[in-house]
Structure 1
Amino acid sequence: MHILLLDLGKEMRGGQWQVFYLARALARSQEFTVTLAAPANTPLLTHAAEVEGITLLPLSGARDWGICNIYKLRRAVTKHGAQVIHTNCAKSASLGGIIKKMCSNAFRLIHTRRVSYPLKKGWSGKKYLLADAVVGVSQEISDIMMESAPLLDRSKVSTIHSGIDASRYKPKKDRNDNRIVIGMIGALTEQKGHVVLVNALGELAKYKNLPTWEARFVGDGPLFGEIKDLAEELEISSHLALLGRQDAREQLPYFDLLAVPSVNGEGSSGVIKEGWVGQLPVVASDLPSNLELVEDQKNGLTFPNHDHEKLAKLLRTLMLDEQLRARLVEGGNRRVQKFTDMKMATSYMELYKQSW
């Protein structure tokens, strides 16, 4: 069976890594062949070019309504015989929907949705109705899609959590100091909850008899100035390092704790899984998607969304309780085995076969 994976993202973020893992698994399988379509010169195509068996289809850009992209995708169906087009972002879902209207039953259309926002009215929502199968990367996403689109056939909706390739990550480093480093990874945008964590750090600074600590934020984005100003206002600038965008794998080995204070829109958090692979105790907000991963007190700690005071208390507890940290790390080691890249890919392979 020939699968065409479609993603119009220009950067190599979590969603693109999922597409790469899936393309790699398909190329190595005995039952499938795979073409990967993405904008030319994107990191996704660069990584995929290193894997034998993945056919690359460079697109003219990231426009879902681009004439050249429509032509190339339609040709991939009519000439090269793609039996499944699997879209992996909102724009690619639009492009896939256009091709589906043109080619009707020539192929099966599958959409994967990675954010937990309701489907909008008009074409933004209708394109999901055109699919033969729709996947949410968390049960919360699947539920919200069905709630916000009453015409969406429930039998077409399934949940497949994102996976992680543990072999890409480095072991924890011994820094040879007595500090506690609190890490956070993610674009500096509202939904990731950096402001919640900065306020929690302000509370943490009020506690006495704590080990020397600091926080490191990996990522960039529009909230840089706001985060910096808030840290200065709370007088914790000396505790906070804004490291900008870089490969999180280079920083994870130097963290001691990982905070995931997302406030909305979360899918199947790749950062939580990175924390588990990196041997870190994870503290996460209680968004439904996060709770599908984190079992409180077993493989992480959870706090009420937006509650920076509770987050500060949990960070303090972890700083002072080495046994708790070790227990959560052990629980994370076990839990992450349920969310590997191959488990994710195998679930999609089963879906492809069922779609025919």
Structure 2
Amino acid sequence: MKILHIDTGTVWRGGQRQVLTLHRGLIQNGIESLLLCNRAGALYQTCQKENVPACHSFDFYGEFSGETRAQIKQEVEQFTPSIIHCHDSHSVKLGGRFHRTHTLFHTRRVSYPIKFLSRYFKYRNISMHICVSEDIRQYMQQHFDHTTTIHSCVDLSRFDLPSNPSIFNNPGKVNLLYVGAFTEQKGIDVLIQAFARIHTQHPDVTLHLVGGGALFTEMKQLIHTLNIQNQTVLYGARTDVEDFYLSSDVVICPSVSGEGSSGVIKEGLAAGKRVIASNLTANKELIDDRINGILFQNRSDESLAQTLELALSGNPFISIESIKQKVNQFDCSNTIQQHIDLYHRTLNQ
């Protein structure tokens, strides 16, 4: 069995981490795997830096580019894969032209609807759609025959480290943490407004915001408008997010839409922290409310403020055992094996 993965992403996000983890896991399990990624992307740069085996690149000029298609075709002809696994929308178009000679897989990581023409022309030849949440699968099965759910994983060993309190440089403080893009769907404005509601009652609490994106400047301005800049720290995009998770007290995921299977929630749990998340359907698959985390009403800064008040008072009690029990379900060894089993089943049909 030979698996060819295609990823066209340019930045390093959760999806790129998942692709690389799967590729490495397949190789460790004795399966031939070739990772084909955008030469200008962060995934390829990471592969080069970490000397990842069987990682090739291509020049991505768009999914309709003749040059890009020619490079993909050459890789397919040389590797002769059993399965071409497409990990984003553009790669579906690039891989789709081989549907007559190869089995095609597609991983769907977001809950946004797919346009009618794309459903018919781009996705119709996919043999199996892997959805990273049951919420996404329920949408996909309305339009496609072959769907399954494999949640994205978290590498628990990333958090098997001592905490680094100096990352915050504020001994004695209570540290709230947000990690993620500064984009509309992530709900960063909801979190900032919620913190503004409670910060005067909690002078010992600091809100740490790790990430960058289109709304970074706007959110920085909002922080000053709400006069919470003395208790809020902006870090921009960071690669050492493990230190932030391990040194925090509460991790917050305020996403308002589009969430597939939140890596932030799983990473917060893997670090053994209390996680507060919006009650999106996909988040409910990861958080059992008041058992291994706390949910608040989506898009409501008032609800989030009330939930923060509860968490800061120690209510409800969330045991480390319940956190570990939940996050162990998403250990990468489990999800890699689920992929292997699915590959075999599909090829044997």
Q: What is the rounded CA distance, in whole Å, between the counterparts of 2:124 and 2:64 in structure 1? A: 18
TM-score, L = length of structure 1? 0.90
Paired position in structure 1 for 2:158: 168
Q: What is the rounded CA distance, in whole Å, between the counterparts of 2:28 and 2:6 in structure 1? A: 18
Paired position in structure 2 for 1:351: 342
Pairwise CA distance, 1:165:
0.8
Map residues 202-241 of structure 1 onto 2, 5 A cutoff: 202-206=196-200, 208=201, 210=202, 212-241=204-233
Aligned length: 342
Contact 1:211 1:319 in 2 (8 A): no
Paired position in structure 1 for 2:97: 98
RMSD value, Cα: 2.0
Q: What is the rounded CA distance, in whole Å, between the counterparts of 2:70 and 2:319 in structure 1? A: 51
Paired position in structure 2 for 1:334: 325
Contact 1:261 1:285 in 2 (8 A): yes
Report the more deviating stretch, 184-193 or 36-45: 36-45
Seen in structure 2, the aligned counterparts of structure 1 residues 174 and 244 have a Cα distance that, compared at 3 Å, is: closer
Q: What is the rounded CA distance, in whole Å, between the counterparts of 1:253 and 1:114 in structure 2? A: 26
Match of 1:145 among 129, 140, 143: 140
TM-score, L = length of structure 2? 0.92
Contact 2:85 2:105 in 1 (8 A): yes
Contact 2:40 2:59 in 1 (8 A): no
Does 2:54 align with 1:77? Answer: no
Map residues 60-75 of structure 1 onto 2, 5 A cutoff: 60-61=59-60, 63-75=62-74
Q: Give identity over the alignment, percent.
A: 32
Deviation readout 1:94-129 (Å, 9 max, x if unpaired): 2111332xxx1x210000010001111213653222
Map residues 185-196 of structure 1 onto 2, 5 A cutoff: 185-196=179-190
- SS, match of residue 116 in structure 2: coil
Contact 2:8 2:41 in 1 (8 A): no
Pairwise CA distance, 1:76:
3.3
- SS, match of residue 283 in structure 1: strand
Does 2:151 align with 1:157? Answer: no
Seen in structure 2, the aligned counterparts of structure 1 residues 189 and 41 have a Cα distance that, compared at 3 Å, is: closer
- SS, match of residue 235 in structure 1: coil
Q: What is the rounded CA distance, in whole Å, between the counterparts of 1:250 and 1:62 in structure 2? A: 36
Match of 2:276 among 283, 287, 291: 283
Paired position in structure 1 for 2:297: 304
Match of 1:127 among 91, 113, 122: 122
Can you give the 5+ residue segments of structure 1 that lack an aligned partner in the other structure? none
- SS, match of residue 98 in structure 2: helix
Does 2:88 align with 1:89? Answer: yes
Which amino acid is 1:234 matched to? L
Q: What is the rounded CA distance, in whole Å, between the counterparts of 1:233 and 1:342 in structure 2? A: 46
Seen in structure 2, the aligned counterparts of structure 1 residues 240 and 51 have a Cα distance that, compared at 3 Å, is: closer
Can you give the 5+ residue segments of structure 2 that lack an aligned partner in the other structure? none
Pairwise CA distance, 1:18:
0.4
Q: What is the rounded CA distance, in whole Å, between the counterparts of 1:62 and 1:204 in structure 2? A: 48
Pairwise CA distance, 1:194:
0.4
Q: What is the rounded CA distance, in whole Å, between the counterparts of 2:305 and 2:120 in structure 1? A: 39
Deviation readout 1:280-331 (Å, 9 max, x if unpaired): 100000000000000001110001101111111111111121x745x24432
Which amino acid is 1:226 matched to? E
Seen in structure 2, the aligned counterparts of structure 1 residues 233 and 47 have a Cα distance that, compared at 3 Å, is: closer
Which amino acid is 1:266 matched to? E
Q: What is the rounded CA distance, in whole Å, between the counterparts of 1:142 and 1:56 in structure 2? A: 29
Which amino acid is 1:227 matched to? M
Contact 1:134 1:158 in 2 (8 A): yes
